[in-house]
């Protein structure tokens, strides 16, 4: 880079500083995106794909299993429907008998604000009790004579190991790409920072020389 005069040096120094700020912002944004991807990968890779790690332990305490684990073998095409059909209860724990469950719940030290418990045969679960109608990209469930629930198909179904594994593969590819972009942005930001510091030192040195020369002439 050829610098004709002080104005050129200051202009180049300002441009370098602007590029360094932009690159640093990109670096930080990529780092945040990488963390988000890692959290989502961790959630989907957990048993049943639950976003609350306490649920698996609670299921063991109550002698049941996560509802999502029962539906682990459904196809990718069916996963959004069943995830929507259960709505908030998709995070439920299935137990063979509700007797004595209330007493166990009272003794729990740590659990989500809402915990759904469903009685059913863990080995032959029956969901025929749901009065559900499939709509366009959603499910409408008649809860009773005066209540119904409308749930859209989730973009990332909780149910279905195949659906989660497909999503995990995509997320891992995105993470790898993000890590590479972050490494490049971090390197570029550091290089620009050093260049700016060199410009700064160059301008300061020549301003000092110019100042000293002016004193001599005076």
Rounded alpha-carbon distances, angstroms, from residue 28 to 14, 32, 36, 59, 177: 21, 6, 13, 39, 15
Tokens 């602007």 correspond to 18
121 backbone dihedrals φ, ψ, rounded to 5°: -80, 110
- pLDDT, average across residues 34-50: 77
* pLDDT at position 49: 55
At 54 the pLDDT is: 82
When pLDDT is cut at 50, 70 and 90, the band that residue 206 belongs to is low
Q: What is the pLDDT of residue 112?
A: 82
Give the C-alpha separation, 175 to 34, whole Å. 6
When the pLDDT of each residue in the chain is averaged and rounded to a whole number, the result is 82
Closest to 152 (Cα-Cα) out of 79, 75, 76, 87:
87
Q: Taking a C-beta distance cutoff of 8 angstroms, is the pair 82, 71 a contact?
A: yes
Alpha-carbon distances of 203 from 9, 172, 210, rounded to whole Å: 7, 46, 10
pLDDT score of 214: 47
Mean pLDDT highest for which of 55-59, 74-78, 103-107, 179-183?
A: 179-183
Q: Stretch 44-69: mean pLDDT, rounded?
A: 78
Q: What is the pLDDT of residue 22?
A: 92
Percent of the chain with pLDDT over 90: 25
pLDDT band for position 48 (cuts 50, 70, 90): low
In the chain, alpha helices (H): 6-45, 54-62, 67-70, 79-86, 101-106, 161-217
Place of tokens 């469930």: 141
- Reported as a pLDDT band with limits 50, 70 and 90, residue 7 is low
Say how far apart CA 88 and CA 80 lie, in whole Å. Answer: 13
Closest Cα to residue 83, out of 141, 35, 154, 15? 154
Contact 9, 203 (CB under 8 A): yes
pLDDT digits (tens, 9 = 90+) for 105-155: 888 888 888 889 998 888 888 777 788 899 999 999 998 889 999 999 987
CA-angle at 98, arms to 143 and 58, nearest 5°:
95
User: Residue 61 contacts by C-beta under 8 Å, 6 or more apart in sequence?
Assistant: 104, 108
Which residue has 């640093």 as its token pair? 24
> How many angstroms separate the CA atoms of 194 and 188, rounded?
10
Provide the pLDDT for residue 208: 53
pLDDT in tens, 144-202: 889 999 999 987 777 777 777 888 888 999 999 999 999 999 999 999 888 888 777 77
């Amino acid at each position: 880079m050829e610098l004709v005069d002080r104005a050129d040096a200051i202009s180049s120094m300002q441009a370098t500083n602007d590029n360094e700020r932009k690159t640093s912002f990109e670096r930080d944004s990529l780092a945040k995106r990488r963390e988000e991807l890692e959290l989502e990968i961790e959630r989907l890779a957990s048993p049943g794909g639950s976003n609350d790690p306490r649920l698996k332990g609670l299921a063991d305490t109550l002698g049941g299993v996560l509802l999502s684990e029962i539906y682990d073998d459904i196809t990718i095409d069916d996963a959004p429907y069943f995830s929507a059909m259960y709505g908030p209860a998709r995070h439920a724990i299935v137990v063979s008998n509700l007797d004595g469950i209330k007493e166990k719940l009272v003794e729990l030290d740590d659990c989500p604000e809402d915990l759904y418990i469903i009685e059913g045969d863990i080995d032959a679960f029956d969901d025929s009790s749901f009065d559900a109608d499939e709509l366009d990209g959603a499910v409408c469930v008649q809860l009773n004579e005066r209540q119904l629930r409308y749930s859209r198909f989730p973009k990332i179904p909780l149910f279905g190991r195949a659906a989660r594994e497909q999503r995990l593969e995509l997320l891992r590819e995105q993470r790898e790409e993000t890590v590479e972009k972050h490494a490049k942005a971090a390197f570029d930001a550091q290089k620009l920072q050093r260049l700016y510091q060199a410009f700064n030192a160059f301008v300061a040195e020549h301003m000092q020389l110019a100042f000293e020369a002016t004193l001599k002439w005076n």
